Copies of this chain bind each other. A is one copy, B any other.
Amino acid sequence: MQKPLLSNTDMKDFNYYAPTEVVFGEQAEEQVAALVKKYGGTKVLVHYGGQSAKRSGLLDKICDLLREGGVTYVTLGGVVPNPRLSLAQKGIELCRQEGIDFILAVGGGSVIDSAKCIAYGVPYEGNVWDFYLGKAEPKQMLPVASVLTIPAAGSEMSESSVITNEDGDVKLGYSNNLSRPKFAIMNPRRTMTLPPYQTAAGVTDMMMHTMERYFTKDDDMDFTTDLAEASLRNIKNAVFAVLKNPEDYRYRAQIMWGGSLMHNGLTGCGVSDDWATHQLEHELSGMFDVTHGAGLAAIWPSWARYVMHENLSRFVRFAVNVMDVPNDFTDPEGTALKGIEAMERFYHAIGMPINIKELIGKDISDEEIKEMTRKCSRDYTATCGCLKVLKAEDMETIYKMARG
């Protein structure tokens, strides 16, 4: 929208909408049947991933609670990281056969994303992939909710889902406020069994969800920036406590709640978002099947060095306010660079890589970089990023800077 000339700012207008009811605590699961009924569910698809939900007893517990609460259900497991369209399509068929009217995801971001895809598809006559391709807009969908077990993706409150179509190996995201989950049950105790690497990668991912919104040219929405910095500082400190003691409830709780707030829109109000690091990483995890959070850590320092002059003061602010770098007022560039270096030390301290060689354990070839560049630029037709709009040659340069 155009601003009247009398404004003293070109602050971006925004919408904020995060309707998910969060039920947070050690006995949060106990409320699952009541919550499903509150949001209109009578027959539920309980959607989950692999063995861990079964082994931990959580899946059985949720099913028992639903049954005791008078809610009927069917189950569908098998969601994998980078959730597949084929399973979602199987879920859509199952829901139609069984007359399902509510989808409950028990798991992390992949399970929730798969649940959203199923929920879009059930009332739609065409192929649900149409939505991800941008060929159609859903008018309605089944309600979705989750019992969260892995804090990272933020899908439990967000409007987005990412699905991989194995037919052509295309990974696409689709965002629509319709898909904001009705409720999210969060029990930090359920995250205590996450291995250190997955914990650290999750924290890296959630921090990046806010960093993608923090590194912007929109300096006017201080409230958002202040909340972003407080969130980043909190999580950055909390991760050390849980790596030292995986059963530290207090800091598992910070990370779990932080993962939701750092991707539900709160840290993006009134600022443009970037997402170049995410897009550059997509190709990396596509080619080498690495953990998404680790891939982000391998890309971000190189992206940051490449784009920092687009808004140097923001990188100085990050260095000082988030990374505790002393501000050398005579040398903004030096301070900004020290902030990026401090982030690299942080990544190393939590077991994350800072370049592609550390990520994949070998040198990446020029051909592989060219192939990732081609894919990321959609055959040299598309750009990515916003702070600096990256063309194919910029992407290639960043990949080369990141090779390590």
List chain B residues, Cβ under 8 A from A11.
Answer: 25, 249-250, 253
Q: Given known contacts A17-B21, A27-B1, A230-B230, is B9 in contact with A254 (CB within 8 Å)? A: no
Is A222 touching B249 in the complex (CB atoms < 8 A)? no
Q: How distant is the Cα of A113 from the Cα of B25 in the complex, in angstroms?
A: 31
Q: Which residue of B lies closest to A27 (CB)?
A: B1
Is B229 touching A8 in the complex (CB atoms < 8 A)? no
Return A140 CB to nearest CB of chain B, in Å.
13
Of A231-239, A350-358, A384-392, the one with at least 4 CB within 8 A of chain B: A231-239
Task: Verify if A364 is at the interface (C-beta below 8 Å from B).
Answer: no
Interface of A is mostly: mixed
The one of B24, B223, B258 in contact with A16, judged by C-beta atoms closer than 8 angstroms, is B24
Is A22 touching B26 in the complex (CB atoms < 8 A)? no
The one of B3, B226, B261 in contact with A234, judged by C-beta atoms closer than 8 angstroms, is B226
Task: Verify if A320 is at the interface (C-beta below 8 Å from B).
Answer: no
Is B4 touching A26 in the complex (CB atoms < 8 A)? yes
Interface string of A211-231 (1 = CB under 8 A from B): 000000000111100110111
List chain B residues, Cβ under 8 A from A23.
Answer: 15
Task: Verify if A28 is at the interface (C-beta below 8 Å from B).
Answer: yes
List chain B residues, Cβ under 8 A from A238.
Answer: 222
Task: Verify if A7 is at the interface (C-beta below 8 Å from B).
Answer: yes
The one of B8, B18, B223, B233 in contact with A258, judged by C-beta atoms closer than 8 angstroms, is B223
The one of B14, B25, B27 in contact with A24, judged by C-beta atoms closer than 8 angstroms, is B14
Is B15 touching A21 in the complex (CB atoms < 8 A)? yes
List chain B residues, Cβ under 8 A from A304.
Answer: none
Interface string of A14-43 (1 = CB under 8 A from B): 111111011111111000000000000000
Task: Verify if A307 is at the interface (C-beta below 8 Å from B).
Answer: no
The copy count of this chain in the complex is 2
Task: Verify if A13 is at the interface (C-beta below 8 Å from B).
Answer: yes
Task: Verify if A360 is at the interface (C-beta below 8 Å from B).
Answer: no
List chain B residues, Cβ under 8 A from A248.
Answer: 8
Is B223 touching A9 in the complex (CB atoms < 8 A)? no
Q: Which residue of B lies closest to A182 (CB)?
A: B19
The one of B12, B247, B253 in contact with A270, judged by C-beta atoms closer than 8 angstroms, is B253
List chain B residues, Cβ under 8 A from A3.
Answer: 26
Q: Which residue of B lies closest to A238 (CB)?
A: B222
Task: Verify if A346 is at the interface (C-beta below 8 Å from B).
Answer: no
Task: Verify if A269 is at the interface (C-beta below 8 Å from B).
Answer: yes
Is B261 touching A223 in the complex (CB atoms < 8 A)? yes
Q: Given known contacts A7-B249, A248-B8, is B13 in contact with A1 (CB within 8 Å)? A: no
List chain B residues, Cβ under 8 A from A230.
Answer: 226-227, 229-230
Return A72 CB to nearest CB of chain B, in Å.
25
Q: Given known contacts A1-B27, A24-B269, is B250 in contact with A220 (CB within 8 Å)? A: yes
- 20 further A-B pairs in the complex, CB-CB below 8 A; given A16-B22, A223-B261, A230-B230: A1-B26, A1-B27, A6-B247, A7-B249, A8-B245, A8-B247, A8-B249, A11-B25, A11-B253, A13-B24, A13-B27, A15-B23, A16-B21, A17-B19, A24-B270, A220-B250, A222-B250, A226-B233, A227-B227, A227-B261
Q: What are 29 A-B pairs at a CB distance below 8 A?
A: A1-B26, A4-B26, A7-B26, A8-B250, A9-B253, A11-B253, A13-B24, A13-B26, A13-B28, A14-B22, A15-B24, A17-B19, A17-B21, A18-B19, A24-B270, A220-B250, A221-B253, A222-B254, A223-B231, A223-B253, A226-B231, A226-B233, A227-B230, A227-B231, A227-B261, A229-B230, A253-B270, A261-B266, A266-B266
Chain A positions near chain B (C-beta within 8 angstroms): 1, 3-4, 6-9, 11-19, 21-28, 220-223, 226-227, 229-231, 233-234, 238, 245, 247-250, 253-254, 257-258, 261, 266, 269-270
